[in-house]
Structure 1
Amino acid sequence: MARTAGSHSDITGPRIREAALRLFAKHGYAAVSMRKIASDVGVQAGALYNYIPDKQALLVSLLKGHMDELLEAWQAEPRPDDPLARLEAFVRFHIGFTLRHPESIFISYMELRNLEPENFAVIEALRGRYEAVLEEILRDGRDAGQLAVPDTRIAAFALIAMLTGVNTWYREGGRLSEEEVATLYWDMARKAVGA
């Protein structure tokens, strides 16, 4: 199938993803049609299928892209040997990443329910890799006698939920800077794990 005259896959493809991300975050996956995405991008509805097979594939692409970017960004971060310093680095990284990707974070939590089982398994495995990073930090801290964490898995889930919650209330230009918010969250996280 030929592309619409004047369209460019390296431009239109990313525009489709950006529009879908914005619309899914604003209205919810179930409420957004492919026709609405096409209208937002400025292409015919049928033209979307030159770039993506269906709406489910588009959602998976967004969620997987988000998790891949998150894992890649964490890999690029310097990681101290000391578990407590590594935990602080993780907390500050997670807060910063969350605040820079609010729409991706939102749909990554709210739209999991709309994934077909095989797609859910793919995204859940990527989420598990990220959760395992924090769990390892907590385990290392506990083993070093720096942290009091009886169940590192539950503690990792709780900390990630707390850190990600910043997305629901933080607004750029508000009374606290991103750095101040990260410092406050680090203090809460430290206390939550008995450091």
Structure 2
Amino acid sequence: MLDRSQNTRDAILDAAKALIAERSYGAVSMRDIASAVGIRQSAIYNHFPSKQAILGDLMMAHMERLLAAWAQVRQFHGTAADRLAAFARFHVTYHVDQTDAVFIAYMELRSLEERYFEAVNEMRRRYEYELRTILADGIDEGGFKVRDIAITARAIIAMLTGVTTWYSEGGRLTTGALADIYVEMTLMSVGLEAGAGRT
């Protein structure tokens, strides 16, 4: 069971995430966060030394959860085509449930001070490396047509992440149907037929 201190810390992070996603980091003050939680501004400093620390925690936690979740998925898939399809499906379905965290992770990277930026960027590189490895394996297996692995990896991640800017639950497509389309587009981007990867 979480103690009261941990509950307050989590409430601060939740409030900050919602406010920053809505207004931007620069437009949110510690007073705003405290008000949203229902505590005094001074109480925040029992948990975080600065607003920058809150942002850093939010972004690092997002990347840690993303990497851990992908690690659970990747172990169940074999060929490069299978793994690429699994990566695309995972990325879309994971990110549409994390829209605020995703928005902050991409739009507020510029707001991080160097020590937080380096930590977050290292985790971003690790995630991108997972996709680069899949692409390299696909080339070695002879099925992928990729001119530049680094550019292709970044383009695929940008395409998959972009879904969070427009998708809304309860719309024309279910999350599963949406993921099917993005898997197809991802496979086609490396020269594969739509059904090449089993997921």
TM-score range for the pair, normalised by the shorter chain length: over 0.9
Check the 8 A contact 1:138/1:147 in 2, yes or no.
yes
How far residue 8 of structure 1 moved from its aligned partner, in angstroms, is: 2.0
**Does 1:76 find its partner at 2:72?**
yes
Aligned to 1:4: none
RMSD across aligned positions (CA) = 1.0
Aligned to 2:24: 28
Q: How do 1:122-133 residues align onto structure 2 when only pairs under 5 Å count?
A: 122-133=119-130
Aligned to 1:184: 181
**SS of residue matched to 2:167:** coil
- State TM-score, norm by structure 1: 0.95
Aligned to 2:6: 10
Aligned to 1:19: 15
How far residue 117 of structure 1 moved from its aligned partner, in angstroms, is: 1.6
**Does 1:139 find its partner at 2:131?**
no
How far residue 79 of structure 1 moved from its aligned partner, in angstroms, is: 3.4
The superposition leaves residues 3-35 of structure 1 with CA deviations (integer Å, 9 ceiling, x where unpaired) of xxxx92021110000000000000000000000
**SS of residue matched to 2:180:** helix
Aligned to 2:40: 44
Aligned to 1:95: 92
Check the 8 A contact 1:79/1:89 in 2, yes or no.
no
The superposition leaves residues 89-139 of structure 1 with CA deviations (integer Å, 9 ceiling, x where unpaired) of 000000011011110000000000101122111110000000000000011
- Distance in structure 1 (CA, Å) of the matches to 2:85 and 2:185: 11
User: Which letter does structure 2 place at the counterpart of 1:67?
Assistant: M
How far residue 55 of structure 1 moved from its aligned partner, in angstroms, is: 0.3
Q: Which runs of 5+ in 1 are unaligned?
A: 1-6
Q: Which runs of 5+ in 2 are unaligned?
A: 193-199
- Distance in structure 1 (CA, Å) of the matches to 2:24 and 2:150: 30
- Distance in structure 2 (CA, Å) of the matches to 1:131 and 1:170: 23
**Does 1:151 find its partner at 2:161?**
no
Aligned to 1:3: none
**Does 1:64 find its partner at 2:55?**
no
Percent of residue pairs identical: 46
How far residue 84 of structure 1 moved from its aligned partner, in angstroms, is: 0.0
Give the one of 86, 104, 121 matched to 2:118: 121
User: Which letter does structure 1 place at the counterpart of 2:30?
Assistant: M
Give the number of aligned pairs: 189
- Distance in structure 1 (CA, Å) of the matches to 2:21 and 2:148: 33
